[in-house]
Structure formats: structure tokens, C-alpha cells
């Protein structure tokens, strides 16, 4: 007999499949190839964070290496996106640096772009430190910055001074009111402010949002400031908009997560949108 938890997980997996490539590295590579054949670039991320098991960390690092090598072999325009706490930051900075260095050396040989995801605010300083250290060794390295944090404007200006490559996001983590903007209106306002700084002073950046109003504003800014940038969106979200942007000659990247740790990621996506909560409800009723 199927228990309530098993049923819930089965239904969630059915919904989650639109946002994740699947459980395995092969699923991720197939998804990246499909994105590429549809005119999009791929940014692959292995799901999972806060790893403290050295075995799990080694597997994660090895898989990023394999993805990088496959991109090189298949000549796919792709990147990997790494969370510091999945490659050792939860053990020590030294462990994280040692592992990130392996990824960076491999990426440098293969000419593959590497992104550093930004996690919750307790890791912001450490993530920027990692970026500063490795950007001096490899230029095809980018870092995500979150518009919901009050500190981000200063971080952005500092990072742009060294020519950093930025992915601007709204921010996926719940943060204290003392350090963050809480309302959607304030986060959106700050996103637009930071995006203007990026168009004026940055280059090779990513506007990572599904928000139609923000995307329109970016399109307009790009007419005034013709910079090298791309729109980045999560796999399975705003799929109707992506070909339209490509037709207008914008670069669009799909962020493609994979791995067995799909549940927290998918719950985040469900909570983001009322329609997805309704979809979950109706799927449960039908099961
Ligand atoms: P929202 O205000 O959430 O949504 C605006 C509009 O977009 C909605 O009204 C709707 O029309 C559409 N939309 C949004 N979500 C959905 C959905 N699930 N289904 C359908 N339509 C939807 N966060 C981090 O903290 N660190 C990172 O490193 C990071 N990397 C990211 C990389 C990429 C490529 C992307 C796209 C996001 C990343 N995020 C990251 C997540 C980000 O911070 C937001 O939580 C997430 O993108 C939702 O914000 P939004 O800009 O789409 O705007």
C-alpha cells in the first residue's frame, strides 16, 4: 500500500519534472543538449547544499568535471553553477577552495564558464571572497548577487571595479528584515536599480528573472547600453517567452538543475506561484 508521504512525493515528482532534468548526470546532459538544440545556452547545477560528507562532496566535484568535459566534447555553449556549501564550505574554507580549484582548472582547460550561486546571507562574504580569489585566475567566472539584500548595491559596485561577471537575481532565501527588503515591491525596485548599474558599468552579466516587467526594462536598457548580457531563466519556467527573446537576438540560458535532492528546490518553485500550489492541490485530488 502507498503511504500518504509516498503519494505526496510521487505527485510532487510528477510536477517537479518540468523544472528538473532528472536524477542523473545523463539526464542533465540530455537536457542541456535539448536546450542547446532549441537555441538556448545551458547552465547546469547539481542539486544539494550544506554537504559535510567528503564522499558526497567528491561525487559532486567529479560530476561538475564530467559536465564540463562533455560540454567541451560536444561543443555546447554551456556553464556549470556551483553552490559553495555543496563543495566543502560547510566543512572549511580550505576544503571548499581545494575543490573549487579543481573545477576551475578543468573549466579553464575546456573554456567553460563557471557560475557561483549565492546562498543565504551568512555565506555572502565567503562567496565573494571565493569569487575574488578565483576570478584573478580564471576570467570566465561569474557570481550571483541578490536584489533582496540591502548590502548588494555596495557589493555590486565593488565587484564591478574588478570587472566581475554578475548574475542578478531577486534572492531565494528568507532573510532578516534588518538586512533585507521584504516586500516584492521593494525587491523589484532594488532589482531595477541594480540592473541599471549593471547596464551602465558592467559587461557579460546575467539578468536572471522570469518577471515580464523586469525583462521588458532590460530589453529597453539594452538599446541604450549595448552590453554583452544574457537572460537566464529556470528550466521549465516562461518557456513561451524564451523563443521570443531569442528571435529578438537576445541570448537566453536555461538553468538546469538535476539530482536526487529535487524536493526542496521544487517546493521553492511551487511556493513562488499561486498557480503551482493549485496544480499541486488538483494533482493530489486526481491521484
Ligand atoms: P518573481 O517575483 O518570483 O516572479 C515574477 C513573475 O515571474 C511572476 O509573476 C510570474 O509571472 C513569473 N514566475 C515566477 N516564478 C514562476 C514559476 N515558478 N512558474 C511560472 N512563472 C513564474 N536565487 C538565489 O538566491 N541565488 C542564486 O544563485 C540564484 N540563482 C538563480 C539562477 C537563475 C538562472 C534564476 C532564474 C534564478 C535564480 N535564483 C537564485 C532564484 C531567484 O532569486 C528567485 O527566487 C526566482 O528567480 C524567482 O524570482 P523572479 O525574478 O522570477 O520573480
Compute the half-sphere exposure of residue 17: CA atoms within 13 Å on the CB side of its CA: 7
- Residues spanned by the domain of 279: 1-20+262-287
Res 118: pLDDT: 98
- Whether 174 is catalytic is no
C-alpha 250 – ligand 1 centre gap (Å)? 19
Same domain membership, residue 15 and residue 132: no
Domain count of the chain? Answer: 2
Res 186: pLDDT: 98
Same domain membership, residue 127 and residue 215: yes
> Scanning the structure block, which residue is given the C-alpha cell 551602465?
200
Spot the catalytic one: 40, 155, 167, 188. 167
Contact status, residue 61 vs residue 99, Cβ threshold 8 Å: yes
Query: pLDDT, tens digit, for every residue of 158-200?
Result: 999 999 999 999 999 999 999 999 999 999 999 999 999 999 9
Provide the 8-state DSSP code for 139. S
Q: How would DSSP label each residue in 168-207?
A: EE---S---TTTB--SHHHHHHHHHHHHHHHHHH--SEEE
pLDDT category at 110 given cuts 50, 70, 90 is very high
Same domain membership, residue 281 and residue 185: no
Query: pLDDT, tens digit, for every residue of 260-280?
Result: 888 877 777 777 776 666 666
C-alpha 269 – ligand 1 centre gap (Å)? 8
ipTM above 0.90, yes or no: yes
Res 11: pLDDT: 75
- Whether 188 is catalytic is no
Q: Are strands 41-46 and 78-82 parallel, antiparallel or unpaired?
A: parallel
* Best probe residue, ligand 1, of 208, 215, 216 (max atoms within 8 Å of C-beta): 208
Same domain membership, residue 226 and residue 175: yes
Same domain membership, residue 165 and residue 83: yes
The CATH number of the domain holding residue 42 is 3.20.20.220
Same domain membership, residue 46 and residue 123: yes
Same domain membership, residue 86 and residue 195: yes
List the residue whose alpha carbon is closest to atom 47 of ligand 1: 209
Q: Which of 167, 160, 124, 162 is closest to 142 using CA atoms?
A: 167
Amino acid at each position: 500500500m502507498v503511504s500518504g508521504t509516498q503519494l505526496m512525493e510521487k505527485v510532487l515528482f510528477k510536477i517537479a519534472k518540468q523544472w528538473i532534468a532528472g536524477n542523473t548526470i545523463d539526464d542533465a546532459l540530455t537536457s542541456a543538449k535539448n536546450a542547446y538544440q532549441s537555441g538556448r545556452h545551458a547552465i547546469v547545477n547539481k542539486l544539494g547544499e550544506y554537504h559535510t560528507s567528503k564522499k558526497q562532496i567528491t561525487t559532486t566535484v567529479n560530476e561538475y568535471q564530467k559536465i564540463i568535459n562533455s560540454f567541451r566534447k560536444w561543443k555546447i555553449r554551456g556553464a556549470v553553477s556551483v553552490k559553495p556549501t555543496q563543495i566543502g564550505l560547510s566543512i572549511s574554507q580550505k576544503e571548499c577552495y581545494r575543490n573549487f580549484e579543481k573545477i576551475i582548472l578543468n573549466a579553464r582547460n575546456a573554456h567553460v564558464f563557471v557560475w557561483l550561486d549565492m546562498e543565504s546571507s551568512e555565506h555572502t562574504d565567503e562567496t565573494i571572497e571565493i569569487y575574488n580569489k578565483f576570478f584573478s585566475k580564471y576570467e570566465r567566472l561569474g557570481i550571483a548577487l541578490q536584489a533582496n539584500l540591502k548590502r548588494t548595491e555596495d557589493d555590486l559596485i565593488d565587484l564591478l571595479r574588478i570587472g566581475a561577471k554578475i548574475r542578478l537575481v531577486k534572492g531565494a532565501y528568507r532573510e532578516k528584515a534588518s538586512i533585507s527588503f521584504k516586500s516584492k515591491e521593494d525587491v523589484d525596485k532594488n532589482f531595477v536599480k541594480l540592473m541599471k548599474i549593471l547596464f551602465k558599468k558592467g559587461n557579460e552579466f546575467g539578468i536572471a528573472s522570469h518577471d515580464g516587467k523586469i525583462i521588458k526594462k532590460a530589453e529597453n536598457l539594452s538599446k541604450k547600453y549595448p552590453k554583452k548580457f544574457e537572460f537566464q531563466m529556470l528550466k521549465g519556467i516562461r518557456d513561451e517567452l524564451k523563443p521570443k527573446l531569442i528571435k529578438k537576438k537576445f541570448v537566453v540560458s536555461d538553468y538546469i538543475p538535476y539530482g536526487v535532492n529535487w524536493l526542496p528546490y521544487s517546493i521553492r518553485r511551487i511556493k513562488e506561484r499561486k498557480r503551482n500550489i493549485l496544480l499541486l492541490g488538483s494533482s493530489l485530488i486526481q491521484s
